[in-house]
Structure 1
Amino acid sequence: MKLDGIIAFVAVADCGSINEAARQLRLSKSTVSERLTELEHALGAKLLNRNSRQPALTDDGTALLARARRIIAETNAAHEDLARQRDEVAGSLRIAVPRAFGDLHLGPILYTFMDRYPDVVVTADFDDRISHLSQGFDAVVRIAPEILPKVATEQLTISRRTLVAAPSYLERHGRPDTVEDLEHHKAIHYMERGPDDWTFKAEIERVVARVAPRLRITSCYAMRDAAIAGLGIAWLPTFHSQQAVRAGLLEVLDLGLAPDITPITIAYRHDPPARLRALIDHLKAAFGDPPYWDT
C-alpha cells in the first residue's frame, strides 16, 4: 500500500471531486484515478463509488478515512522531525582519524568544537588502520592522495613532508646536498611505506633514493624522537616535526626538491547531517590554509 494512494484517497474524499483533488495535488485526473484503483486493489476493498459526478465514500472508505488522515499526519510529522534533526547541531558523531595526526592536532580542535556545540556527542577512533565508512563511521579523516569512490570527500588542509635531522647527527655525518647523498646516510624509515626507498618529486620527474635504514619503525612519534636523538635522517610530515624544528631540536634539509604535499581529507556519506557539516567547517577554519603548524 503506497502513501501516494492514501493521499489521493483523502484528497478526493475532502474535495468531493476527482477533478478538484487532481488540481490541488497538481496531478492529472488519470493519475489520481490510477492511484485510487491501486489502493483499492491493495486493500481488496472498494473505497469510493465513482459512478456519479461526485464520488461517494463506501462503508469501507468511511472506515478507512480517519486512519488514512492519521497516516498522512504521522508521515508529515516524521518528515518534519527528521528535517529538524538534520538542521539541528545535535546528536552523535563517530569519526576515524590517523593516530599521530589525531593526537597532535585533532584532539585539541575537537574540544573547542564540543564546547561550541554541547549537544553533540563525539566518538573519535585514533588509529592508523585503514578505516571505512562501512565500519560504522560517520566520517573518516585520511592523509592520502586517492579519493574514495561513491562517497563525498572534502579537503581539510594539506600535509607537507620534509627531511629532518638533529644538529648532532649533521655534525657527525655531514649535511646531504643531493638526493644521491642520502644513500650514504643513516635513515629512519617508516615501515608501512614499503620498500627501503624514498621517492621525491623533482621539477620534471620523480627521483628515488635507495636509503639504508638504521631504524625501521611504525610510529611517527618514535621516528621523530629517534631523529632528535641523532640516529639518522627522517622524512616526516611537518605537522609532526615542526615543533621540534622551531625548538632547534631538528633541522630541515633542503635538497632543492619540489614540495611533497598530500591532501588531508574527510570522507563522508552524501547529504551529511548538520552536526557533521558543522564539524567539517570547524576543522577547516581551525587548520587554516596554509595549516597553522606551517606558519
Structure 2
Amino acid sequence: MITLEDLRFVEALSRTGSLSAAARSLNVTPPALSMRLKRLEQALGVGLVVRSSRSMRFTSEGEHLVAEAQAVLGRIEALPEELVAAGRRLSGRLRVVAPFGFGRIHVAPLIARFAAQHPAVRVTLDLSERPWRETEDADVVIHIGEVKDSSWIAHLLARNSRWVCASPEHVRRHGAPAQPRDLLHHACLCVRENDEDVTLWRFRKAGRSGEGRAAEDRAAAPSRQDAIRVSPVLTSNDGEVVRNWALAGLGYVLRSQWDVAPLVRRGALQRVLTAWEFGAADVLALVPARRGISARVTQFVAFLEAGFRPRPPWR
C-alpha cells in the first residue's frame, strides 16, 4: 500500500535529483530514505530508480509514480482553497417552514431573491398554519410569537405586536370598547394557530407610546398583565379567513400587526384599545440548537434579518 509519505518521498526525489538532496529536503538521513525506497520497490514489485555512481534516473514505472504523486499532492495542497471557495459559493438543500399568510407575503419574495444570488442552493418552502408540526426535517422555521421549545435557537427578524381591530362599520354599529373587558360583550373572531389558547386574550396598559419599544425596555419596566376569556362567534384555523370576516363587519379580531397594519392605514379596519398592549408576537427565524449548522443556513438567516431592516414592511 502506498502512503502519503511515500508520495512525498517520490516527489522530493524527483524534484531534487538525488537521495542525499531529497533527505535534506525531508529532514531525514540518506540511509533512511534509501531504506524507504527499497521497501517501496519491494511492496510494488517493480524497480523505481536506476542508480549509478554518478547519476540516478527513474524507470518508466518510477516516472509514472512521480506523475501520480505530483497530481495527488497538488490536489491536497489546493484542497483548503477549494473548500474556502466552496463555502463562499453556497450549495445544497435548504428547507424552510413558515406560516401560510406571512410566508406567502414576506418570506417567499425573500427566498426568491436569495435563490437568485445563490443558484446552487435548492430551497424548499413549506407553508403551514402550524409550522411547529412541520419541523422534523426543517433547516429554518419562521415563527411568530413566543418560543416554548429550547431545542431551537431564535433569531429576531422583526418586532410585531397584536392589535384589536374591526371594520369601521362594525365599530359605528356596535361601539368601540373602552377597555379590554368590554370585549366580553362584543362579537369576537379567533384564529387557531401554533397550539395557542386563542380565546385567552392577554393585555396590559401600554407604556410611553409603546409601538416600537424594544424587548429590553419591556423587561426593565414590566407592568401587570391581565387576561380575558372571549367567547368567539366565529373561529377558523386560517388567518386570512378570520381577517376577511373582520373586514366584512362580523366582529373584533386580535391579529398580528404585520397582517392588519396595512388595512388600518387604508381605513379598511379600525384599531381600538390603543392604550393597551395585547402581547408581543415577534417574528423569529428558528434553527436547530445543534452543532454543524451549515453556511447556507447561517447566510440565509442573515439574509432574512437584513430583509426586515431597518423597518419591516408593515411599519
Q: TM-score, normalised by structure 1?
A: 0.72
| Paired AA for residue 257 in structure 1 | W
Query: Contact 1:98–1:128 (CA<8 Å) still a contact in 2?
Result: yes
Deviates more, 1:257-266 or 1:75-84: 75-84
Deviations 1:23-51 (A, max 9, x none): xxxxxxxxxxxxxxxxxxxxxxxxxxx9x
- 2:39 and 2:135 map into 1 onto residues whose CA distance is 46
CA distance in 2, matches of 1:75, 1:201: 63
1:84-103 counterparts in 2 under 5 A?
Answer: 84-103=85-104
Partner Cα distance (1:176, 1:225) in 2: 21
Evaluate the alpha carbon distance shift between residue 293 and residue 195 of structure 1 in structure 2; reply closer, same or farther with a 3 A threshold: closer
**AA in 2 matched with 1:268:** V
Q: CA separation of 1:76/1:147 partners in 2, compared to 1, >3 Å: closer, same or farther?
A: farther
Aligned to 1:285: 306
The 3 A distance-change label for structure 1 pair 145 and 228 is same
Distance (Å, rounded) in 1 between the aligned partners of 2:37 and 2:149: 56
Measured after TM superposition, the shift of residue 104 of structure 1 is: 1.7
Q: Distance in 2 between matches of 1:200 and 1:274?
A: 40
Q: Distance in 2 between matches of 1:9 and 1:150?
A: 48
Query: CA 1:132–1:165 in structure 2 vs 1: closer, same or farther (change >3 Å)?
Result: closer
- 1:159 is aligned to 160
Query: 1:115 offset after TM fit, Å?
Result: 3.6
* Alpha-carbon distance between aligned partners in 2 of 1:228 and 1:167, rounded to the nearest angstrom: 9
Give the direction of change, closer, same or farther, for the CA distance of 1:217–1:79 in structure 2 (3 Å limit): same
Distance 1:195 1:272 in 2: 34
Residue 71 of structure 1 and its aligned partner are, at CA, apart by 6.7
Q: Taking structure 1 as reference, are residues 233 and 150 closer, same or farther at Cα in structure 2, changes over 3 Å only?
A: closer
- Is the CA contact 2:157–2:284 (under 8 Å) kept in the aligned structure 1? yes
Q: Is 2:277 aligned against 1:258?
A: yes
Summarize the Cα distance change of 1:76–1:188 in structure 2 as closer, same or farther, 3 Å threshold: farther
Between the aligned partners of 1:266 and 1:155, the Cα distance in structure 2 is 6
Describe the SS at the equivalent of 2:203.
Answer: strand
Aligned-residue offset at 1:172? 1.9
Cα distance in 1, alignment partners of residues 78 and 287 from structure 2:
27
Identity %: 24
Contact preservation (8 Å) 1:104, 1:240: no
Stretches of structure 1 that go unaligned for 5 or more consecutive residues are: 22-49
Report if aligned partners of 1:157, 1:289 keep a CA contact under 8 Å in 2: no
User: CA 1:136 to 1:81, structure 2 compared with 1: closer, same or farther past 3 Å?
Assistant: farther
CA distance in 1, matches of 2:301, 2:82: 23
Code of the residue aligned with 1:229 in structure 2: it is A
**1:185 is aligned to 2:206:** no
TM-score (norm 2): 0.68
Shift in alpha-carbon separation, 1:197–1:263, aligned structure 2, 3 A = closer
Which stretch shifts more, 221-230 or 185-194? 185-194
Pick which of 228-237 and 189-198 moved more: 189-198
Q: Distance in 2 between matches of 1:242 and 1:279?
A: 27
Once the two structures are TM-superposed, the CA of residue 153 in structure 1 deviates from its matched residue by 3.6
Counterparts of residues 231-270 of structure 1 (less than 5 Å):
231-258=250-277, 260-268=279-287
Paired position in structure 2 for 1:204? 223
SS at match of 1:262: coil
* Aligned mates of 2:72, 2:133 — CA distance in 1: 38
Cα separation, partners in 2 of 1:267 and 1:191, compared to 1, 3 Å: closer
Q: Secondary structure at the match of 2:254?
A: strand
Higher mean alpha-carbon deviation, 53-62 vs 86-95, is at 53-62
Residue 259 of structure 1: how far off its partner (Å): 6.0
Report the CA distance between 1:164 and its aligned residue.
0.6
